[in-house]
Every structure is written in structure tokens, then in C-alpha cells.
Amino acid sequence: MAVTDEIRDALGAPELQGLWAAAREALSSSKPTFRLELPDDATRTAVGELYGRPMWGEGTRISVSKLDEALQNRFGVGLSQVVEALHGSVAVAEPAAESSDELLPVLDEHGLAGASWAVPWLRWMRQYGRIGEAELTGITHAGARVLTAMSLTEPPRSWTSRAALAGRIGFPHSLDDGTALSRVVLKAAALAQGVESPGNERDRRALWERCGVAPDAVSATVLTWALPVAGDDAWSAGVRARTELGLPAHLTHLDLDAAPSRLVADGAAIAVCEHPRLLEAAVQEGLRHPVICLSGMPSTAARELLERLTADGAVLHVHADFDWPGIAAALTAQRHGAIPWRMSADDYRTALDRAAQDRTDLPNLIGAPVPTPWDPQLADLMSNTARAIEEEQTLHPLLEDLRNGL
């Protein structure tokens, strides 16, 4: 059977015809996204299964690059090949001459002209960016300067606030929500990341953070206790003073920006937990073992602190809930250098036995399983047992470790 016939058999369902027609139009006009109507449940189901996310309501916006990636992953063919097999060849619009002549050299000055998202971004700016012709060159320059400072292809290791990033190009408020520059920069970031353009405040914040930009320098915090800061500067003295007062410290990106380049001595052992209850108990008992609390999924401030401590040579030990969000939080901390601590299958089994002995009610384990690469048996055991164990229920052995030193 010819490849074209195989594509028609696999993807020619009536429920998908609207998708292919809209995708063909988007390809022919070089649009990065398109609006798709979802008239019934059958269409929503078929499109959702293909695209990789549930579909709701009567319509949705589809990313051309994401649809192409889904097809490549599942069927080994790209969107253009599918559309050609189902609807005939696609006449793709050529880039506007002015984009090639005027704006690509602007991006080339910043080393961005060869990026896969560059030409679609320039087309989008002309067609949908609401940028006046006289302003295009200037905003392309400004956008390129911002984009070169962002993590567009690799996960970020540090975060810069929007205000600080805008300040680098001399306009402190130019990346505030609603500005033309923030709009075009976020569009480029969405294209580079292969995600849909953000449509609300939450999605905009997530995209900024995904690219190494904190929406501000003060709202994201990380809760710490007894950090063994090694400097003799005023910042380090301030952290030590809070410890002497029996007070934890909430650190923001602004705090971390003001901190000395080196925070702790090589080999410092630091506990990382998910819930504030463990840190609170350590404070109440007067345990001076350093603790960092993630408070759920690590904030950008927490991730930056973990990254800096690991670079200093600290040894981080992370513990979290035995549930899927807790495993995800531990995985994130592990990517920043932390070692799982009392997070093995045996530790989970011991906690289950203790709960049964104490007649403690355990919540059901819900959500999609998350792998536990440090101990693959843990994820299997959690899935089979289907019970979650909160960090607070393992408090005693964790505190004992803090008393004795990790």
C-alpha cells in the first residue's frame, strides 16, 4: 500500500476533515496557529487524541508546529505530507520581500536569523502584531536584544526579572503586561518553545518562567531555615541573624540578586522538603540543620537557590510527599542537583506499615503516575498500592535525620 493510502486510512476520518482543511489554509498562508471549530463530541475526541490534549467547548486554537510534532511522533510523517495526501499539494506563501530585505538582517545582527521561529515570527509581526510599519525595525531590534537574554531552547538555570531584562535595553517598563514589546517577545518565545501563544495572565507568567524570566523579582519566594551562609558581608550576616532569632527566611529573586556570588562552603549538607511542617518542626526543636522548603512544586526562586547551592558544592537531600505531585517536585529538585532522601520503595512500604499500625487514614493516590528513576520500584509500588503518604506523616524519621546530620 502506498504511503498516501496509509495516511488516508489512518487520518482520513470524517471527524478530522475540518482539522485538515484548516491546517491546509494555515500552511498556505504561513500562519503559526489557526482556529478550529469543534461542532460535536466525536470531533472533540478525535482531534484531542491526535493533538495530545483534551478538547472542550465549540472551538480551540491549534499550533501548526505542535500538530506537526504530534504527527511526526505518532505516524512518522509531517503535517505537510498529511495535508498533501488528503487535500492535494499546499502552495506555501513566500516570505514577504520586505521581511527578507529589512528585518532578517536585523535578527542576523543578534545571531537569531537562523532560528526556526525567526521567519514565522517576522510574518506574524507584520500580519497580527499591530506594529506600525515605521516601528517594525525598532521593535525587532528591541525584541531581539531581549530574546538573546532568554532561555528559548534549553531549560533555564537562573531567572532574570522582567524589569531587569527591560532595563538592559533602557526601557524599564517596556516588558510590562500589555506593551507591544512584551506581546511580540512572548510570541517569539511561544514559537521557539512550540507552544500556543498565552491567552491569559497565568499562561503568560508560565511562558516567561519557562524561558528564564521571572515576571517580577519579589513574588516568587523560597522558605529557608538556618542556611549555613559563609560570607562576612551584610547579606550573609542578615541571614545568620534571623537564624539566631529562631526565624526562617523567605528569599526572593531580589534577595538572591543581592547575595554574594558564593553562598555556602563546599560540602554543606542541606535538607530540601516539600511541606513547611518539617521546617517548622525543625525551628521549634531548635535544630540548626539547614532546611529549604519547596512548598509544593519549586518556584523559580527555589530552583535558582538549589542551582546556586549545587554550584557551590553543597550536598542537597530532597524529600517530598509520596504522591504524584510530590514525585514531580522531587524530580525537579533532582534536576538541580538534589539527591532523593528517604524516597525509596522501602521507605514508602515502611510508611504504609506505620500508617496501618497507627490506624492512620491515607488518601487515595490520584493522577497520572510519574517515574521515579532513582528507584523504579517506588513508582510501581505506589501505583499498585494507590495510597498517598503526606510528608507530615513521615515527620519523625526525617527529624531524626536532621538531629543526627544528613
Question: How does pLDDT run across 48-60, given as a tens digit for each residue?
Answer: 889 888 887 788 8
pLDDT for residue 90: 58
Q: How confident is the model at residue 279 (pLDDT cuts 50, 70, 90)?
A: very high
Q: Which of 13, 77, 74, 24 is nearest to 46 (CA)?
A: 13
Q: What is the pLDDT of residues 2-51, one digit of tens each?
A: 456 767 777 888 899 999 988 888 888 767 778 898 988 889 999 988 98
Q: What is the C-alpha separation between 272 and 71, in angstroms, rounded?
A: 40
State the average pLDDT for the chain.
Answer: 90
Residue 399 burial by Cβ neighbours in a 10 Å radius (0-12, 13-18, 19+)? middle
As its CATH architecture, domain 221-404 has 3-Layer(aba) Sandwich (3.40)
Q: How confident is the model at residue 96 (pLDDT cuts 50, 70, 90)?
A: very low
Dihedral of alpha carbons 344, 349, 355, 358, sign: negative
pLDDT for residue 196: 84
Q: How confident is the model at residue 374 (pLDDT cuts 50, 70, 90)?
A: very high
Task: With a cut of 50, say whether residue 97 has pLDDT above it.
Answer: no
pLDDT for residue 153: 87
pTM higher than the cut 0.75: no
pLDDT for residue 355: 93
- Residue of higher predicted confidence among 279 and 94: 279
Q: How confident is the model at residue 88 (pLDDT cuts 50, 70, 90)?
A: low
Question: What share of the chain in percent tops pLDDT 90?
Answer: 65
Q: What is the C-alpha separation between 172 and 176, in angstroms, rounded?
A: 9
Q: What is the pLDDT of residues 303-362, one digit of tens each?
A: 999 999 999 999 999 999 999 999 999 999 999 999 999 999 999 999 999 999 999 999
Q: For the chain, where do the domains classified as CATH 3.40.1360 start and end?
A: 221-404
pLDDT for residue 334: 95
pLDDT for residue 238: 97
Say how many C-beta atoms besides its own lie within 10 A of residue 279's C-beta.
23
Q: Cell 527529624 sits at which residue?
A: 399
Q: How confident is the model at residue 89 (pLDDT cuts 50, 70, 90)?
A: low
